[in-house]
Amino acid sequence: MNEPMKTENSSPYFSIVIPAYNEEEHIGSCLRSIFESNYDSTGYEVIVVDNGSQDRTREIALNHPQVRFFELPEGNVGAVRNYGAARARGDILVFIDADCLLDKDWLNRAEQLIKDKPNCAYGGGAKLPSNASWIETSWLLENNGKPTLPKHLIGACTMLLRNLFSEVMGFNELISSGEDTDLHNRLVPKNIPVIICHELDVTHLGNAKNISQFIKRQIWHSENYIRNITKSIKDPIFLITLAFISLSALTTIQFLISPNIILTATSFIIFLCTPAILSFKRLLRSGKKIRNPYELLSIYIIDFLYITGRSLGIFRELLLLLKYKYIKD
């Protein structure tokens, strides 16, 4: 067991901040994974901030006397994370989600990373649970048991010095999702290196398990596209989604207006190729070896559902904006 680094006033070295909303299914496992760590328990504190849960999240968290429990019923997840960070006593802020598990040596590896390069922000990837569904295995592509590392920080596992977090004013509290990517994009211009590595991988339990859950999650993730259109037009996924919507409309119009089967079929094939771009890109990044055609088809289907969900999210936001404008006028 490593002896934790301490500050002069003997405050914990790590402050682990966990936002939670209706997480009764997973938060107990999350907390146990932390408290079963090989790291000295005096070297970290665990802060849970409940975001107005209607289930047993509060009760389960309070069953662990080591937890510092707070409540912030209103606000986006960025505000919840910031609320916990503002009450942290440690030098190092660690943000994880309530549906994630740390392995026993996670904090030891985290400490070594900080010792080696303290003025950096760190993140990891999301590993599959042992009982992963086909939705999960097709979405979170793993290569020899290792997850594909994300390009940007993810809220499931982010770590940085408190002063670096303060320098960029913490998480964006105005957006309902994507606050982790937003943080990443504000760290880089400040010349704060961001290192994403397997040492900080976590096991993610709360993945979508079925098609309905998966699409709903993508609708939620895309609800800021229209609100932040100046940022969205720089996002390749947003542009691919727009292409998907445009090709879908073109194919439909072509089918309704022209009896030309060849033109309609051509438009439809091009439309179907859009998700394949994502599939190819993800396979290339992950290095995953495809074992059979069914595996490849599953990956394509997930990417088709992914863009479909994002498209529905854009339509939903446009309708809400039009409704708001109509009521306002």
Strand ranges across the sheet with 126-127: 100-101, 202-204, 126-127
Q: Is the pLDDT of residue 289 over 80?
A: yes
Residue 130's nearest CA partner among 150, 145, 143 is: 145
Contact 290, 143 (CB under 8 A): no
Indicate whether 260 pLDDT > 80. Answer: no
In tens, the pLDDT along 195-245 reads 999 999 999 999 999 999 999 999 998 888 888 888 888 889 999 999 999
How far is Cα of residue 16 from the mean position of the Cα atoms in its chain? 17
Q: Residue 150 has what DSSP assignment?
A: P
Give the number of other CB atoms < 10 A from CB of residue 249: 12
| Angstrom distance (rounded) from CA 157 to CA 97 | 7
Give me the DSSP letters along 73-131: -SS-HHHHHHHHHHT--SSEEEEE-TTEE--TTHHHHHHHHHHH-TTSEEE--EEPPTT
Query: How do beta strands 92-96 and 157-161 pair?
Result: antiparallel
Percentage of the chain exceeding pLDDT 70? 95
14-207 adopts what CATH topology? Spore Coat Polysaccharide Biosynthesis Protein SpsA; Chain A (3.90.550)
Q: Which helix (H) or strand (E) holds 324?
A: helix 293-328
Structure tokens that stand for 238 in this block: 């947003």
Where residue 329 falls among pLDDT bands split at 50, 70, 90? low
Higher pLDDT, 25 or 225: 25
Give yes or no for a contact between 192 and 116, defined as CB atoms under 8 angstroms apart.
no
CA distance linking residue 176 with residue 316, whole number of Å:
15
SS3 label, residue 276: helix
Three-state DSSP class for residue 68: strand
Q: Can you state the percent helix, strand and coil of the chain, rounding each to 5?
A: 50, 15, 35
C-beta atoms surrounding 269 within 10 Å: 11
Amino acid at 306: Y
In the chain, where the domains are located: 14-207, 214-328
- Evaluate if residue 1 carries a pLDDT over 90: no
Is the pLDDT assigned to residue 10 strictly greater than 60?
no
Cα angle 307-313-315, degrees, rounded to a multiple of 5: 105
3-state secondary structure (DSSP) of residue 246: helix
Q: Is 178 left (phi over 0), alpha (psi -120 to 50) or beta?
A: left
pLDDT surpasses 90 at 322: no
Q: Please report which confidence band the pLDDT of residue 170 belongs to, taking 50, 70 and 90 as the band edges.
A: very high
Question: So what's the pLDDT on residue 278?
Answer: 95
205: left (phi over 0), alpha (psi -120 to 50) or beta: alpha
The share of the chain scoring above pLDDT 90, in percent, equals 76
280: its two tokens: 């190819």
pTM, whole model, 2 decimals? 0.85
How much is the pLDDT for 8?
45
In the predicted model, what is the mean pLDDT of residues 127-138? 94
